Amino acid sequence: MKIDFHLHLEEGPYSPRWLQRTMESLTAMTDSSEQIHTQAWMQESFGRLERRMTGGAFTEEWLDLYLKQAKQRGIHTVGIVDHLYRFTKYKAYYEKHMLLDDTLIGRLQREWLDQVCMADTEHFVACIQAQKEKWQREGVQLRLGIEADYFPGCEQELAGILKEQPYDYVIGSVHFVDGWGFDNPATQMYFEQFDLEVLYARFFEIVGQAVSSRLFDIVAHLDNLKAFNYRPDEQRLLPMYERIADLLIAHDTATEINAGMVYRYPIREMCPGPAFLAVLAAKGVLLTTSTDAHFPDDLGGYTDQQLEMLKQAGVREIVTFQNRRRSRHWLE
């Protein structure tokens, strides 16, 4: 059974590259009555782009492209999430925990947060919930999720936030180490200030706290600190991998094999990497599959490869969630 359980409808910042990628996705996913690369074709394409920009991401028209791609790639279950930091209602949560001072990093992160925090959570939830029945008629199960950043000490506040909407599942993620958003290309120079082994130890300490919080059904992309190829000798990381695997088992929490860094970051590697995946599989940690897509044409693009990797690692089942209840599915 093919599952893509962690993907998004939109992500800023809203740069010329974002506009180009949106146009590329619309072109790839929609049919045209005009000859490609003619002026008439371009005018038609701009009309679609204008509708997308005017309507935003939380529309049936945009979501239909994800459904179309899921059907074309034989995906049985799709889980759509948004980042908690995208919602204006929760901006104060990030302002409390992110580094937003008058340093270079702080100013860059303030600029980023102001650029991406612009959506309405009620609008997002209503959009996904309204389309579930239609997707089911089309042979694809649609699930509503949220991806929430974990910060040390956030447990009580975040627990309240996560109860506010009828999510089918909650993904926990670590994108920040002591307030620094390490996967932001604008701030990657900060890696140069660290002893990498010490940095990874701190990162996995936070990941372990996220797992131990029991706030999350899935803890995502467990080794995403590697995004820009800053990584110590991986043999030194194996005890950290073992500890995270043990915590996932102890707290009955799932993780994922996430393709986002294969096609969006310099590392060009799945999360977790092969060595980490081997540890997780040996321990019997529950996993699901995800592309971390941010555009419809990326949905399901690595699912077959991921399923084969899981089989080779000895994994025999993957999981999904509905109404915060877990289901297991045998690999074919």
Q: Is the peptide bond before 272 cis (omega within 30 degrees of 0)?
A: yes
Domain range for 281? 3-16+57-330
Average pLDDT of every residue of the chain: 97
The verdict on residue 163 lying in a domain is yes
Does residue 52 sit within a domain? no
For the segment 218-237, the average pLDDT, to the nearest whole number, is 97
User: Within a domain: residue 172?
Assistant: yes
Q: List beta partners, residue 255.
A: 287
pLDDT at 39 over 80: yes
Percent over 90 (pLDDT), the chain? 98
CATH number at residue 214: 3.20.20.140
Eight-state DSSP code of residue 271: B
41, part of any domain: no
Q: How many angstroms separate the CA atoms of 200 and 225, rounded?
A: 8
Rounded to two decimals, what is the model's pTM? 0.96
Within-domain flag for 46: no
pLDDT given at position 278: 98
DSSP state, residue 256: E
Distances (CA, A) of 293 to 78, 232, 299: 11, 28, 6
pLDDT per residue over 268-301, tens digit each? 999 999 999 999 999 999 999 999 999 999 999 9
Bridge partners of residue 254, in order along the sequence? 218
Please name which of 58, 2, 6 lies closest in space to residue 170, comparing C-alpha atoms: 6
Q: According to the model, what pLDDT value does residue 332 have? A: 72
Asked if residue 32 is part of any domain, the answer here is no
The total of other beta-carbon atoms located within 10 Å of residue 188's CB is: 16
Domain-embedded: residue 37: no
CA diameter of the chain:
60
Number of folded domains that form the chain: 1
Mean pLDDT (whole number) for 189-212: 97
Neighbours of 225 (CB within 10 A): 26
Residue 63 has pLDDT above 80, yes or no: yes
- Predicted confidence band of residue 206 (pLDDT cuts 50, 70, 90): very high
Residue-level pLDDT at 304: 97
In a domain, 317, yes or no: yes
